[in-house]
Copies of this chain bind each other. A is one copy, B any other.
């Protein structure tokens, strides 16, 4: 078993990580900024904010969703005016997706509300625990994208 490439008791950590991530994910689903936006739609907007613009296929890969799902998500976002669709300059099969100014504004508002919710939750954590979490956030993000 190639499990203990990293020392110690990773079994417990993995198990704990898995259940915590799933549970937190379920709860986060209910904490939407805009009721009409699904968690994945939010996530796509976040990705676009970081990457500038991308094709539907790229987005599907980054979000680990199948292409047809991304098509629908992008279509919904466009209908809400949060995303712009342009033809790809080099390849007419592809499209370029980029966020609108409206999306930026919404993301800002979103960040504020999420902060409030998580800060409220984090009141049950002491300063050390929160610091641990802050350190882990980027690692978790890296792991999720591997």
Residues of A within 8 A of B (CB): 1-6, 8, 10-29, 39-40, 43, 46, 63-65, 111-112, 114-116, 118-125, 127, 129-146
Contacts and interface: CB of A to CB of B under 8 A. Distances in A.
A133 B124 contact: no
Contact of A136 (B18, B112, B140): B140
B121 A143 contact: yes
A18 B114 contact: yes
**Majority secondary structure of chain A interface residues (helix, strand, loop or mixed):** helix
Contacts of A24: 21, 25, 140, 143-144
B121 A15 contact: no
Contacts of A14: 111, 114-115, 118-119
A119 B23 contact: no
A13 B64 CA distance: 22
Nearest to A120: B2
Given A19-B144, A136-B140, 6 more contacts: A2-B116, A6-B119, A14-B114, A19-B141, A21-B25, A22-B25
A135 to B, nearest CB: 5
A139 B128 CA distance: 10
A129 B115 contact: no
A63 B23 contact: yes
Nearest to A110: B15
